[in-house]
Amino acid sequence: MTELPARRLLLVHAHPDDESINNGATMARYAAEGARVTLVTCTLGERGEVIPPELRHLTGAALGEHRLRELTDAMAALGVGDFRLLGGVGRYGDSGMMGMADNDDPGCFWQAAVDEAATALAEVILEVRPQVVVAYDDNGGYGHPDHIQAHRVALRAVDFAAGAEAGGGWSVPKVYYNRVPRSVAETAFDRLREELPTLPFGKSAAVADVPGVVDDDRITTAIDGTAYAPAKAAAMRAHATQIEVAPGERYFALSNELAQPLFTTEYYELVRGEPVRDSGPGAQNRETDLFAGVEAGNEEVA
């Protein structure tokens, strides 16, 4: 028998780098606090655009292999040792942006049978037995086909794991979506525009370019990762093909060279489970712990 840590967090992401941008501070915080943090990445991002000129020769499988090395370095920066590719390395290919011919590739994640992919993810859930799963909303945060598919697969896998006969199944107590409150995004972009002349980026992105922005009243949970800001920035910097982090580690840009804020407090919307809100100073009646209300305990698995 193997004893699992008392608190267990599983995150589902579409490509290497998504995890560090969305949840880097959260992952680093919980890993440092002794929780088991498990990342499942659905593709290697083989169709991503490459920023550094010296790496632009990388395409297809070669880019995927490189991005896996970047992911390994990012996880080391966050202190996360358990990270996997859904179904194994290379099982599902990057689907490209919505509306591209790449979406029709039979080997891409967008074309995957949801139940098949969810079965593979459910096996991880049954192994890890997470009390918390973090996923995208039904638009994948911003409409990318792999993100939308990751949402479908994650929620189906949670259902499959709960209904599994082997080992009695596992019901995940809390499922969250990645979010950013609109007021926080707007304030951050106001500051960015003031500081833009000091940054290595010529233009600013817009609030609409940030995945998962919603009205503030939908935010149930805020995780203060300020103490782990250097770890998050280091993880993002490890994804050098996809991300450029500005000096000072408050802003970054993707291949479009548009500056965005780097958030170290990370926000979530609880979509399954009961919120346990914190009314203490600065909490804004939100949860300040993804595990709030969860009866944490060591589990034994065969």
Residue set of the binding site for Zn(2+): 15, 18, 147
Residue found under tokens 């500056």: 259
User: Which ranges in 99-258 belong to alpha helices (H)?
Assistant: 114-128, 145-163, 182-195, 229-238
- 88 contacts: CB under 8 Å, gap ≥ 6: none
Residue type, 212: G
Tokens found for residue 260: 């965005």
**C-alpha span between 201 and 4 (Å, rounded):** 45
Residue 42 gets which letter from DSSP?
S
Instruction: Give the three-state DSSP class for 265.
Output: strand
Task: Say if strands 36-41 and 8-13 run parallel, antiparallel, or are unpaired.
Answer: parallel
Q: Which helix (H) or strand (E) holds 84?
A: strand 82-85
Task: Say if strands 132-135 and 174-181 run parallel, antiparallel, or are unpaired.
Answer: parallel
Radius of gyration, CA atoms only, the chain: 18
Residue type, 191: R
Tokens found for residue 296: 């944490």
Angle, in degrees to the nearest 10, between helices 60-78 and 229-238: 160
Backbone angles phi, psi at 140, to 5 degrees: 65, 20
Annotated binding site: 15, 18, 147
Tokens found for residue 111: 């074309």
Largest CA distance in the chain: 59
Beta carbons of 165 and 39 less than 8 angstroms apart: no
